[in-house]
Amino acid sequence: MSRRLFLVAALALSAPGGHAETTPPVSFRRDIAPLLQRRCVACHGEESTKGGYRLDSFARLSKPGESDLAALTPGDAAKSELYQLLVESADQDRMPQRADALPAAEIALVKRWIAEGAKNDGGPAERPLAELVRETLLLPAPAHYARPVPVTALAFNSKGTQLAAAGYYEITVWDTDTTQLVRRIGGLPERITSIAWNAKRNLLAVAGGSPAQWGSVWLIDPAKNWQPQLLCDLPETALTVAFRPDGSSLVAGSGDRTIRQFDTTTGQQTRLWKSHADWVQTIAFSNDGALFVAASRDRTARIYDAATGDPLMRFDGHQAPVLAAVFPARPSSVFSVARGQFVQQWDASSGGRMTELADAGRDVQVLLPMDPSLLTGSTDGLVRLVQTNDRKVLMTFPGHRDAIDSLALAPDRRTFASGDHSGEIRIWNLGCEAAIRSFKAQP
């Protein structure tokens, strides 16, 4: 044996077990399910079945759609319609439609998985892809945060003595008097986008997920040891939750463009809306619970009848994605704000624009009604109290050094909290313009 061949053989045998290292096989559970969930399920899932083809479980993706061509031929990508549609040269036929082709590395991964036998290592073939993805993405919260995370959501309890804040794979709950951490609620998504705490039922609702991979809505009952109850899996991050004031139902909006209603007693989904063409970013109820308004990245805000589900009014005058929309005490109008625009007031009956709150600036991204005023949180780190009748700023609350990501009102309606992108929370009293508490939400 030549010296060169000897060295090659020696290197091969130096691998663990005395054999050459090999690339591990592609895992359906770890590699393929997240890819399909992220790229395909929005158009080929329960809510939309283009071409009669569904990809939201291994069992379904193995069956042909309307074309009757074999969707999956283990060992042969060339005879698998699932793969061939990814490499189709004609833009109108290639999947995903009306979008860029998948990255070459992702296409190669699908091809290799099929070539290796298209094996399912995710348990029963009927298991939803979202369930498999959830298992890979739900991780324990870190014992200690290396740095604070943005406070993207806040909610007071019914007595105003505790404040729930968005954390990393968790919600953190803080004592509003001492600012001490009193509870950590784990088992939740990586990013928490919205929290609601209902005073009537003492229930928490949570929206969140991992962007472009998975989303979910959760219900937490303190009387049941604070254990999160999963209400639904989604193909995109859940962005907003809001309770009907009596606590009987919960409405959630998501990056998959849907609005969903849940019964808070059974946890069952009771209604689904597909009215929006893009992310549903916030939802807010009127004080009497008869209506709710949704703000969307599709540049609209829409009012719905909470009892019947009927869409009642659509506000189309925004020139950018709508970040938030809320009702004042009397739901005869709606306040909304689009990215980079002034806060607008709309007539709830006609849909016509009534006025704009120019003094609040163009960098507002969070709204909180404080009748007869409106609290605004801005990217400049300022919270402003705007008088809605004359559109003047009554108070300015300085102190944050980063963009305001969340606002929450305490039950006494004199105390509110603001959270910013740097992880700081400030608790304010409307009787003064200085924070009465300030702390970093960092376990």
Q: Which are the contacts of 329, defined by CB distance < 8 A and separation ≥ 6?
A: 287, 369, 371, 372
Question: Which structural domains are found in the chain, ordered by start?
Answer: 28-137 (no CATH), 154-440 (2.130.10.10)
pLDDT above 50 (res 10): no
pLDDT at site 7? 36
pLDDT at site 96? 80
Residues in the chain: 443
Amino acid at the residue 360: A
Q: For residue 269, report the phi and psi dihedrals to the nearest 5 degrees.
A: -70, 130
Nearest to 389 by CA among 357, 419, 415, 414: 357
Q: For residue 79, report the phi and psi dihedrals to the nearest 5 degrees.
A: -105, 15
User: Do you find a cis peptide bond into 142, omega within 30 degrees of 0?
Assistant: no
CA 380 to chain centre: 24
pLDDT at site 248? 97
- In this prediction, residues 187-211 reach a mean pLDDT of 97
338-355 pLDDT tens trace: 999 999 999 998 988 899
In the structure encoding, which two tokens stand for residue 53, read together?
Answer: 């083809």
pLDDT at site 91? 73
- In this prediction, residues 260-278 reach a mean pLDDT of 96
Q: Which residue in the block uniquely carries the two structure tokens 């004199």?
A: 414
- Per-residue buried b or exposed e for 210-219, using 16+ beta carbons within 10 Å of the residue's own CB: beebbbbbbb
pTM of the model as a whole: 0.85
- In this prediction, residues 75-85 reach a mean pLDDT of 89
Lowest mean pLDDT among 51-60, 265-274, 417-426: 51-60
pLDDT at site 47? 67
Q: Which are the contacts of 224, defined by CB distance < 8 A and separation ≥ 6?
A: none
89-128 pLDDT tens trace: 777 778 887 777 889 999 999 999 999 999 999 899 998 8
Task: Work out the mean pLDDT of the chain and round it to a whole number.
Answer: 90
Q: How many Å apart are CA 243 and CA 226, to the nearest integer?
A: 18
CB atoms within 10 A of CB 126: 9
Most confident of 79-93, 96-110, 399-413, 428-442: 399-413
**Residues 329, 333, 339, 342, Cα dihedral to 10°:** -100
- Contact predicate 292/282, CB 8 Å: no
pLDDT above 80 (res 46): no
